[in-house]
């Protein structure tokens, strides 16, 4: 890599919503923008979370001068504490973002592995050779930043997650004028922008409208208890709910560990105003009439062990819900969570609750810009080059099309995916090489459970397993015991005795076939057992369970 050139490598977030992470290299040093995690989907049984592949970063750790975190969402900072196992980190972000990130490090007992640096709106600081500016943006967690990296070739702007809300709850708007100034003074060399809503026309609702809508619902449902579920990090939404509760004379209870933790941090930093006289502890619920209570809960994504899921299952220890309750899902399911969310809505409906969600009322606004907002950003930034980030593949493509429709030459709006690296020199930008950027699955304390393990889990969960055991005398080439067949999740053994007996005969014949040829090679025996039993099972039951052959030498 030449001294003056810039390289951007994408480690996550391009092709999926989650685990956002990009590395910028310049003058032999590296700066990371975000290091997030992704929550697993139903294709990943037993996986707790998914991280970017850190191999390449660890190989280059000598170059790393810092990590800039755009905002306090898990898909942007949730991977930091995992990366800190291998690389000591120097982390930069807003005070709120840093406090949310520190919480994770404290929980993991890793505080000595990172330094946290608070930055203020519009600060411009040097991190190694990088001249980094923190530009305020509006999003669904307060105090988010777009990042501008000023270089002699022009500025690289990374939008982070943003929307253009003219009436945000805290009055802190996306600083469009600064984007315009950078564009007209030094010029925007490369724009990397949020693509989450790039396939949706129009503009995203203002958070202010959600507040008003919630107040109206609270007023209409004055004879019921109200439970509102939203993201624990959506402090503007929580503020809107608190306001609606105050106006309608309701006490407030917070459900869920992350909710209590984030509200505590936000009140301490003055980001959120929680009037202490209205606040109740979960075990004080019975001290007020139901219609004088508002519960603010986690679980809006249908997370299995969250407070809302427990309420839907009738298993919450502080509260059981009924037709005296109105539940508001102040959220939108993240792609992949739709089924979990509908299960929760179903459960609550069975208990008699009235459920209000974004499909039935104005109770949620996205934190991500839609096409008209993105167009405004592009028109102001006037980038020389554009790479869409933060989106599933179709979102990236839609965003690239949008940039081209706005006049950018086709070859200057590049769709990249995880692992792609681009090189920028005076003569332009080009894709240049790839690094490994597969999913790193975390299960419990095991770092990487790997694709093979997940494939096995899928087969086990869908088809079951058959273990077949045989004892062989290798000197006499004869079967001494078995074969025994043990099965789980394939057929119910008690009811399928005949089938299992037939299976044993088939396997025995196969083994004797191999032994009859004078072979005592254990691999050959195992293969014959697997093959004969597999054929028999699929012929008889049209199923393909996992077959585990076991040969004992006696």
Binding region for Zn ion (CB under 5 A): 73, 75, 161
Quote the least distance from Cβ 233 to Zn ion, whole Å: 8
Crossing angle, helix 176-185 and helix 371-381, to 10 degrees?
Answer: 30
Quote the least distance from Cβ 146 to Zn ion, whole Å: 12
By CB neighbour count within 10 A (0-12 exposed, 13-18 middle, 19+ buried), where does 531 fall? middle
Q: Please, are residues 65 and 36 in contact by the beta-carbon 8 Å criterion?
A: no
Letter string b/e over residues 411-421, b meaning 16 or more CB atoms within 10 A of that residue's CB:
ebbbbbebbbb
Strand bridging mode 478-488 / 465-473: antiparallel
Closer to Zn ion at the Cβ: 334 or 499?
334
Quote the least distance from Cβ 303 to Zn ion, whole Å: 17
Quote the least distance from Cβ 162 to Zn ion, whole Å: 9
Closer to Zn ion at the Cβ: 87 or 137?
137
Which residues, including other chains, have CB under 8 Å from residue 297's CB and lie 6 or more apart? 227, 228, 229, 254, 255, 256, 259, 306, 307, 308, 311
Helix residue spans in 429-516 (DSSP H): 450-463, 497-516
Q: What's the CA gap between 302 and 322, in Å, rounded?
A: 19
Element housing 548 (H / E): strand 546-553
Q: What is the largest CA-CA distance in the chain?
A: 88
Closer to Zn ion at the Cβ: 75 or 165?
75
Element housing 391 (H / E): strand 391-392
Which candidate in 251, 368, 390, 399 is catalytic? 368
Q: What is the 3-state secondary structure (H, E, C) of 403-445?
A: HHHCCCCHHHECCCCCCEEEEEECCEEEEEEECCCCEEEEECC
How is residue 134 annotated by DSSP? E
Q: Please, are residues 190 and 42 in contact by the beta-carbon 8 Å criterion?
A: no
Which candidate in 75, 165, 194, 420 is catalytic? 194
Closer to Zn ion at the Cβ: 11 or 424?
11
Quote the least distance from Cβ 367 to Zn ion, whole Å: 6
283 among known catalytic residues: no
Q: What's the CA gap between 273 and 269, in Å, rounded?
A: 10
Quote the least distance from Cβ 369 to Zn ion, whole Å: 12
Quote the least distance from Cβ 429 to Zn ion, whole Å: 24
Closer to Zn ion at the Cβ: 158 or 316?
158
Cis peptide before 483 (omega within 30 of 0): yes
Q: What are the start-end ranges of the E strands in 225-374?
A: 225-229, 251-255, 279-280, 293-297, 325-329, 354-356
Residue 480, by phi and psi: left (phi above 0), alpha (psi -120 to 50) or beta?
Answer: alpha
448 among known catalytic residues: no
Name all contacts of 95-98 with Cβ < 8 Å and 24+ positions apart.
95/143, 95/269, 96/72, 96/141, 96/142, 96/143, 96/265, 96/266, 96/269, 96/271, 97/69, 97/70, 97/71, 97/72, 97/143, 97/144, 98/69
Q: What's the CA gap between 69 and 76, in Å, rounded?
A: 7
Tokens of 393: 């593949």
Closer to Zn ion at the Cβ: 391 or 483?
391
Which residues, including other chains, have CB under 8 Å from residue 236's CB and lie 6 or more apart? 140, 142, 168, 169, 170, 207
Quote the least distance from Cβ 196 to Zn ion, whole Å: 7
Quote the least distance from Cβ 481 to Zn ion, whole Å: 58
Closer to Zn ion at the Cβ: 207 or 215?
207
Quote the least distance from Cβ 197 to Zn ion, whole Å: 12
How many angstroms separate the first and last alpha carbons of the chain? 62
Quote the least distance from Cβ 34 to Zn ion, whole Å: 8
If we measure between CA atoms, which residue out of 403, 421, 434, 436 comes closest to residue 5?
Answer: 421
Closer to Zn ion at the Cβ: 139 or 251?
139
Q: CA 397: distance to chain centroid?
A: 21
In sequence order, what are the beta bridge partners of 144? 137
Q: What's the CA gap between 388 and 308, in Å, rounded?
A: 35
Active site members: 194, 368
């Amino acid at each position: 890599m030449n001294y003056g050139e810039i390289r951007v490598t994408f480690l996550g977030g391009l092709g999926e919503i989650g685990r956002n992470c990009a590395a910028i290299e310049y003058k032999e040093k590296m700066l990371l923008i975000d290091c997030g995690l992704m929550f697993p989907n139903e294709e990943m049984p037993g996986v707790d979370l998914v991280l970017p592949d850190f191999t390449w970063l660890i190989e280059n750790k000598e170059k790393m001068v810092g990590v800039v975190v755009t905002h306090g969402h898990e898909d942007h900072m949730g991977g930091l504490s995992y990366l800190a196992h291998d690389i000591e980190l120097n982390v930069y972000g807003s005070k709120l973002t840093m406090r949310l990130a520190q919480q994770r490090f404290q929980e993991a007992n890793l505080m000595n592995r990172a330094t946290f640096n608070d930055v203020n709106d519009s600060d411009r600081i040097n991190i190694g050779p990088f001249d980094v500016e923190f530009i305020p943006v509006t999003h669904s967690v307060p105090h988010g930043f777009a990042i501008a990296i000023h270089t002699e070739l022009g500025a690289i702007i990374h939008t982070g997650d943003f929307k253009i809300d003219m009436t945000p709850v805290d009055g802190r708007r996306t600083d469009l004028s600064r984007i315009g100034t950078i564009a007209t003074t030094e010029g925007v060399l490369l724009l990397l922008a949020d693509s989450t809503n790039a396939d949706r026309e129009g503009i995203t609702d203002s958070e202010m409208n959600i507040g008003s809508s919630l107040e109206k619902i609270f007023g209409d449902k004055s004879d019921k208890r109200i439970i509102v579920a939203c993201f624990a990090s959506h402090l503007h939404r929580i503020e809107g709910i608190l306001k609606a509760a105050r106006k309608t004379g309701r006490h407030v209870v917070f459900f869920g560990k992350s909710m209590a933790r984030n509200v505590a941090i936000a009140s301490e930093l003055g980001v959120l105003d929680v009037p202490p006289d209205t606040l109740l502890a979960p075990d004080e619920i019975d001290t007020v009439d139901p219609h004088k209570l508002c519960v603010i809960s986690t679980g809006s994504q249908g997370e299995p062990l969250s407070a809302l899921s427990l309420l839907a299952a009738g298993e919450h220890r502080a509260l059981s819900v009924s037709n005296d309750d109105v539940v508001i899902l102040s959220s939108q399911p993240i792609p992949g969570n739709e089924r979990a969310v509908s299960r929760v809505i179903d459960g609550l409906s069975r208990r008699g609750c009235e459920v209000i969600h974004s499909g039935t009322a104005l109770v949620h606004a996205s934190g991500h810009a839609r096409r008209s907002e993105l167009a405004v950003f592009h028109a102001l930034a006037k980038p020389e080059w554009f790479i869409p980030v933060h989106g599933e593949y179709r979102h990236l493509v839609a965003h690239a099309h949008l940039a081209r429709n706005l006049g950018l030459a086709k070859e200057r709006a590049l769709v990249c995916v995880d692992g792609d690296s681009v090189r920028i020199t005076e003569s332009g930008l080009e894709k240049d090489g790839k690094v490994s950027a597969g999913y790193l699955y975390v299960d419990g304390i095991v770092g990487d459970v790997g694709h093979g393990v997940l494939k096995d889990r899928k087969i086990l969960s869908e088809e079951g397993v058959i273990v077949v055991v045989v004892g062989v005398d290798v000197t006499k080439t004869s079967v001494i015991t078995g074969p025994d067949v043990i099965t789980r999740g394939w057929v119910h053994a008690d009811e399928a005795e005949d089938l299992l007996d037939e299976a044993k005969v088939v396997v025995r014949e196969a083994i004797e076939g191999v032994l009859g040829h004078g072979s005592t090679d254990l691999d050959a025996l195992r293969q014959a057992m697997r093959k004969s039993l597999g054929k028999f099972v699929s012929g008889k039951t049209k199923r393909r369970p996992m077959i585990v052959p076991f040969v004992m030498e006696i």
